[in-house]
Structure 1
């Protein structure tokens, strides 16, 4: 079998420019590709919250009287949810810090605590839905309020699922190396869950009282 003409440098010896053997297989923060993927998720999902909030204020603008055919939602469960959510920042930060230190015992403890926080928040959220004083299908006001609250609930549930899976992994033989980097990414996403709730809380529970 005859091959076509070969380039002049075809027989030249290859020279290794850089070896990747010594490079780490994972990193923390902005040095990690997964971290940038989490940032992308947060930006995209933040736009979803912004669109839902814009729908809310559009309905306020075209209706004038607000809320429609219902009193403002109660503050008890929503305020308790907010307090517990803000309290979760401390163990979340400790989980991130201990993960970067690759302190397995402390990371396990903090992940268990964060999992319990997630469960407690979802229980509170169930009671919170019962104090909206409007069904999702009652009118446009009910639909947009339930949409905003459901979107945030989905994010809490998603992060809780991720935290539980990560907690289980840290108690197995997989609890080393890249898993510590995953702890930091999970903590970063939880900050997004906390930050996204604060404007939603004001919109749903305080704006109708100020309008």
Structure 2
């Protein structure tokens, strides 16, 4: 039965939030154990991601079914839009905290340890041998000497890939707006493919950095900030590509119309956000 203008759909109690909590907890525990060399960590990561995939498939499947049976109206659609807006807003603060940390380390902490700034007098007593420069492995040259990733190699190529994916996604959106499902599907296929290529290129970059440049998580503060920022962004690219792949599957089944396609818009908002974050990473991490 379709929802009327004044009715608001209230779903039945669900077990999916509990599954989501358990999957995230398992993944985080697995990463913590793996980073500290505990063998069970890898197994927990695999189990956690399997639970996460199960949760996404089941929960979003329920939502898709409710939508296709006409249980949603404009009020529900507005709630979905507000929820996605605040989710992306939380992601802005998430990445903002890491960008803020990078700024503090690079422009305040390193300068202070090198003998400048308002705490400069303590330099000769604490870190008298430290030279203020960026990038740095910090006092003691943790992890040994390392080289930087070539800005105009894989990072520049990946920048072009993500910018192109934004164009292909916009092209797909035009197809949706014009009731051209073939253009919608083709645009989504191109976008997902570009996302997969981006992740593959970044994996190749990590392998080169670890094996040839000695740039690792143990390379002092630069190594840790480099992998935290680029690694979390890579994870978001994977999530965005999975979202777009799900939208692609629904597009192939003809689920979307010009009037009813918020799932596409939500995934597109997220993907464009990921594009913008990468531009900031490229400038502040690779270029400057």
Q: Same fold (TM over 0.5)?
A: yes
CA contact 1:98–1:107 (8 Å) conserved in 2: yes
Structure number, greater radius of gyration: 1
Q: Does 1:186 align with 2:275?
A: no
Residue among 122, 135, 138 paired with 1:67? 135
Kindly report which structure 2 residues correspond to 1:196-207, keeping only aligned pairs within 5 A, or say none.
196-207=277-288
Match in the other structure for 2:226? 145
Contact 1:95 1:187 in 2 (8 A): no
Deviations 1:55-95 (A, max 9, x none): 12222222232112433321200000001111112111112
| Maintained 8 Å contact 2:166/2:272 | yes
Uncovered stretches (5+) of structure 2, i.e. residues with no partner: 7-69, 111-131, 138-145
Alignment TM-score, normalising by the size of structure 1? 0.77
Q: 1:179 to 1:74 in 2, by over 3 A?
A: farther
Select the structure with the greater relative contact order (CA < 8 A; seq sep ≥ 6): 1
CA distance in 1, matches of 2:208, 2:95: 21
Please tell me the root mean square deviation across aligned C-alpha atoms, in Å: 2.6
CA distance in 2, matches of 1:100, 1:169: 16
Out of 131-140 and 119-128, give the one that drifted further.
131-140
CA distance 1:41–1:98, change in 2 (3 Å): same
For structure 1, the residue ranges without an aligned partner over 5 or more in a row are 1-18
Tell me the CA shift for residue 131 of structure 1. 4.7
1:104 aligns with 181
1:194 Cα deviation after fit: 0.6
Separation in 2, partners of 1:32, 1:186 = 16
